[in-house]
Amino acid sequence: MQGLDPTKLPRHVAIIMDGNGRWARARGLPRTAGHKAGVERVRDVVRAAREFGLEYVTLYAFSSENWSRPKEEVSDLMRLLKLFIRRDLDELHSENVRIRVIGCRETVQSDIRALLDEAEERTRRNTGPNLQIAFNYGARDEIVRAAQKIAKEVAEGRLSPDAVTEERIEAALDTAGIPDPDLVIRTSGEQRLSNFLLWQAAYAELVFVPCLWPDFDRAQLRAALEEYGRRDRRFGAVSPPGLAVGS
Ligand code: FPP
């Protein structure tokens, strides 16, 4: 396999891992089997991302809306997440991976919160690659929490309303200090963002992959990175002369 062009690689890839349930159903298996297979993909993709030289990977592991799933499925997902952190934290740490968790942690059960805190704390000094796990995450909720922090500072006279800039809002988001995603990948053929990184993905390239998450492997990741490399990113400006004009 030929190497990827490092000058055309995204710095930050965010992934909506969709299709675990359909993958299981197609095999006559319970949905949990799909999530279990999905965790194996998480391992492979994190490894591949490191090998490809990606600096930041963000995975949508559990949304703030996922609580409305059947109780057994929610507890299976919690169990899988705990297992992943318990089993993989040592290896990720030894590979210098820095883990950060985005999402609302206050309402999360205490044993999971402790594990998430531990994963962040142990890897805090690692210099990368950076793995963000979006857990109990919803972009609107994140923006509301950021707005509340800022409103409090304004109300207490510590911040002037004029100082509420894009930078100040970014600094109040869960992703403070993390560059915006350049590429958002969603598996399973669905073509929507589902409340994922709505602020941060303002200029992200979107790649929708038809395969279900448990079938997403390093070759699929590579193909998505190559697709990204062919995109012409303009951030609202115009293409330089001689380049094809996109939409
Ligand atoms: C979407 O598939 C997937 C999820 C809601 C959970 C994703 C979680 C994992 C892959 C495992 C835990 C994550 C980590 C980081 C260890 P779906 O159930 O909505 O599938 P469907 O649309 O086919 O029903």
- For residue 104, the Cα-to-chain-centroid distance in whole angstroms is 14
Q: Where are the domains of the chain?
A: 9-138+180-230
Whether 18 sits among the annotated catalytic residues: the reply is yes
The domain over range 9-138+180-230 is classified in CATH as 3.40.50.10490: no
- Which atom number of ligand 1 is nearest to the Cα of residue 59? 15
Cβ atoms of residues 145 and 104 within 8 Å: yes
Question: How far away, in angstroms, is 57 Cα from ligand 1 center?
Answer: 16
Q: pLDDT band at residue 2, thresholds of 50, 70 and 90?
A: low
**Mean pLDDT value across residues 136-148:** 98
List residues bridging with 195 in a β-sheet: none
Q: In terms of Cα–Cα distance, which of 119, 28, 130 is closest to 81?
A: 119
Residue 181: exposed, middle, or buried by beta-carbon count in 10 A (0-12, 13-18, 19+)? buried
Question: How far away, in angstroms, is 54 Cα from ligand 1 center?
Answer: 22
Q: Whose CA is nearest to atom 3 of ligand 1?
A: 18
Question: How far away, in angstroms, is 155 Cα from ligand 1 center?
Answer: 40
- Token pair 């990175």 in the structure block, residue: 225
- Round to whole Å and give the CA distance between 31 and 20: 7
This prediction has a pTM of 0.94
pLDDT per residue as tens digits for the range 182-196: 999 999 999 999 999
Whether 174 sits among the annotated catalytic residues: the reply is no
- Which atom number of ligand 1 is nearest to the Cα of residue 60? 7
- Token pair 């002369």 in the structure block, residue: 241
Q: pLDDT band at residue 241, thresholds of 50, 70 and 90?
A: low
- Round to whole Å and give the CA distance between 42 and 48: 10
Within 6 A (CB) of ligand 1 lie 17-22, 35, 38-39, 42, 59, 61, 66, 80-81, 84, 133, 188, 213
Return the pLDDT at 92. 96
Q: Which of 44, 66, 126, 195 is catalytic?
A: 66
Q: In terms of Cα–Cα distance, which of 183, 178, 233 is closest to 208?
A: 183
pLDDT per residue as tens digits for the range 78-98: 999 999 999 999 999 999 999
Q: Which residues contact 44 (CB under 8 A, 6 or more apart)?
A: 217, 218
- Round to whole Å and give the CA distance between 198 and 220: 24
